[in-house]
Structure 1
Amino acid sequence: MAATRLTATVAGCAAAAAALAALTACAPPGANTDNTNDVSAQQQVPALNEVGGESLAPVASTPAVPLTTTLKAASIPKMGKVVTDQDGFVLYRFDKDTAKPPKSNCVDKCAQVWPPATTDGNPDLSGVDPSVVGTVTRADGSRQITLAGWPVYRYIGDPKPGAWKGQNVGGVWFVVDPTGKKNLTCLPTPAPTAVQPPAASAEATTNGDGGTGGY
């Protein structure tokens, strides 16, 4: 009987180790797999809450996101081909948007967490085909950049340039590649939960479907 229990325990530990290895292999750079946060991450951005948890870590404040003046094709570890802005931050697309015709459905609280990549002209392009770049006018009158018709965004949960913690958030947000397609090279599982909007906008109104946009 003791030998049976020992065998079951060893098998259970092996299965847990395999699951942890799979999660680590597709975790964004700097992500933790032990449900703790390193000091540098705490100083820059609140941690994602555990999937299934009851609350989200609040964001104390978030600086205004500048206009996107540059679109640059880049390649980053584990993820591969991405598009970044002039500051090196990775851009994303949203499954609840549409490309034909281009339309953003991320507004209000959603747009506080996923700031639209807006422009007042034509962004400089590096490695991105001009034929896939366009704009769509948002409800507030600003012009949001599109790739192959898909509006693109930054994510306030990314602590630094090159980070991609927004990948697969809510199962609807994905890193965008230079052609406008979703980059599905690496999908963290289970789908991460987004950070909350900045405290100043926590009481903002929501759009027709709750404005949650996957958080």
Structure 2
Amino acid sequence: MAGALAGVALALQGCAPAGYNQGDDQVSVANEAAAAADETPTPAPDASEEAAEENTGDAPKKDVPITTKLTGKSLPRMGQAVVDQDGWILYRFDKDTANPPASNCRDKCEKVWPPVYTEDGKPELAGIDEDKVGVITREDGTKQLTLDGWALYRYIGDKKPGQWKGQGVGSTWFVVAPDGKRNVSCLPSVPPKPAEPPADDAADDKEGGDSGGYSY
């Protein structure tokens, strides 16, 4: 029995379940089950409002939170990842394209996966090659940061910095590594269910029967 428990402990240390919080010192099987069962999304802040107010230059055509810093770092059990100035994990979408760089996440999709917005395309960088950072202009005129050509996003299913509940969603969403590649070192055995769009958008879908672009 002791040997079996030790094996479980080593497995947990090697790769945490979707939603593991890097600030936790210990992760029990019970905690993992509770994290997996808790699928109620809470929108994550994209960036501080103060940063959006202070930035000047080519401002987006609508009021959006601005990302001011990208940091490449190694997280316990996940490995290499990219976080914003507030510590939120960033993702990339396999249905986008890197050559040419383009986002295919629009409408309801971008409500669940908020784009990483920028004004001048020059966020502060730590642990990331400046040559890999770029910008695309979205259909609404806002500017979105890219890494090695891949558009960057957050996930409203992440309830606090350090979580990665978006890892493997739809088998198309992945934590992005500092070089822009997918981090697939820690994947859930079963792809997580995607978070629902915010309440108003979900109601519109139900009434209109249109996914509005919320596609994986």
For 1:6, the equivalent position in structure 2 comes to none
- For residues 63 and 184 of structure 1, the distance between their equivalents in structure 2, rounded to whole angstroms, comes to 23
* 1:181 CA drift (Å): 0.4
Aligned residue for 2:116? Answer: 117
Who is 2:17 aligned against? 27
Describe the SS at the equivalent of 2:136. Answer: strand
1:37 aligned partner: 34
1:56-205 equivalences in 2 (<5 Å): 57=40, 59=41, 62=43, 65=46, 66-121=65-120, 122-202=122-202, 203=204
- Residues 158 and 164 in structure 1, CA contact (< 8 A), matched pair in contact too: yes
3-state SS of paired residue (1:37): helix
CA contact (8 A) 1:83 1:91 kept: yes
Residue 111 of structure 1 aligns to a residue whose secondary structure is helix
- Describe the SS at the equivalent of 1:71: strand
TM-score by length of 1: 0.73
Closer/same/farther in 2, CA of residues 67 and 22 from structure 1, 3 Å limit: same
C-alpha deviation, 1:194, in angstroms = 1.2
The structure having more radius of gyration, on CA atoms, is 1
More displaced stretch, 137-146 vs 194-203: 194-203
Letter aligned with residue 62 of structure 1: P
Q: Alpha carbon RMSD of aligned pairs, Å?
A: 2.8
Determine helix, strand or coil for the equivalent of 2:34: coil
Partners of 1:139 and 1:109 in 2: CA distance: 14
Shift of the alpha carbon at 1:64? 5.8
Deviation at 1:111, TM superposition (A): 0.6
Gaps of 5+ in 1: 1-13, 49-56
Summarize deviations over 1:39-60 as a string: whole Å, max 9, x none: xx9xxxx933xxxxxxxx5x5x
Percent sequence identity is 48
- Determine the C-alpha separation between the residues in 1 that align with 2:44 and 2:76: 27
Deviations 1:104-129 (A, max 9, x none): 00111111110000101111111110
Equivalent AA in structure 2 for residue 80 of structure 1? G
Which blocks of at least 5 consecutive residues in structure 2 are unaligned? 22-26, 47-64
